[in-house]
Amino acid sequence: MNAMTLIRPKRLQPGDLIGLINPSGAIYEHAPYEQAHARLRALGFRTKEGANLRARYGHMAGTPQQRADDIHAHVADPEVAGLLAVTGGSGANRVLPLLDYDLIGRHPKFLGGFSDLTALISAVHVKTGLVTFHSPLARSEWNAFSVEHFKAVAMDGRAHTLANTLVPADDLVAAEGSIHTLRGGRAQGPLVGGNLAVLTSLAGTPYLPRFDGAILFLEDVTEYVYRIDRMLSTLMLSGALARVAGVALGGFTDCPPSEGSFGSLTLDEVFRDYFMPLDVPVYRGAQFGHIKRKFTLPLGVRAEIDADAGSLRLLEPAVV
């Protein structure tokens, strides 16, 4: 996908030290930090906070330089095996021009998170060739589904299939975990994507990934439908959408029509308008994003999308 060689980080192992970072939004209570430590310890890891992890600068978790310094410190620390963001929010874009990408490339380590972390994991992947991970945050709910897929991808290094699990309910037909195929078929390509709003905020910058032949995965939360339409139009007008080989749509959580508008397209209509003309496999409902059960998706790793089955099958390991 990139001109540079793909770099795979070492697989995470029980007992590894995970460096906690907060490249985006501030957290205003102690409990989420303590819960993050407890969850990672339950996964078998040790944890280390960045020096500025609990800093605050407005709505952000410290100044951009403080947040960049924490990333650099963990990357340079030979005892730290990987970096995981505590939370998302807003503000990661400010950190990108301050990062030492040569340092990060010389010390390839696991780097994960989702939502606003789309900016960081995309930029590091683009600038270094390092496989980065659209994964649960440290403060996410680490349920059995999320743990299973995280371990398979980031710890076991398996050529894993990311497929939904239907969640039983008191209903004749389980709805949670179901998929909807917009256009069937299979295709192969490197995984690219993340949060739609954050990804499109990188348009026109040197941190936007290449979309050529890629399997694009997208999610979002609390965005009006007209805004999602505008974001997808950015990807369309830039020519990015025309270059993808397939599309997997995750959770678009709490994304209603705008209040007081004369009328609105539905999400179904917006997705149909932008993705059906592409003539590539597309499905909706993949389990990633601002939902309880989450895949771990490695950026840059080749995968096969099966839009009829609703699955993403990794064709190579994400770690060594």
Give the catalytic positions in this structure: 115, 219, 290
What would you report as the CA-atom Rg of the chain, rounded to the nearest whole angstrom? 19
Read off the DSSP letter of residue 25: B
Q: How many CB atoms lie within 10 A of CB 198?
A: 24
Asked whether 105 and 128 are in contact (CB, 8 A), the reply is: yes
Q: Which of 144, 170, 28, 142 is nearest to 84 (CA)?
A: 142
Q: Which residue has the tokens 């505590």?
A: 86
CA distances 242 to 133, 188, 229, 234, Å, are 24, 15, 16, 12
Amino acid at 62: G
β-sheet with 17-21: strand ranges across: 46-49, 17-21, 80-85, 110-113, 133-134, 297-298
d(CA 224, CA 227): 5
Query: 284 by DSSP, 3-state: which?
Result: strand
d(CA 256, CA 266): 8
CA distances 276 to 71, 242, 246, 268, Å, are 40, 11, 11, 11
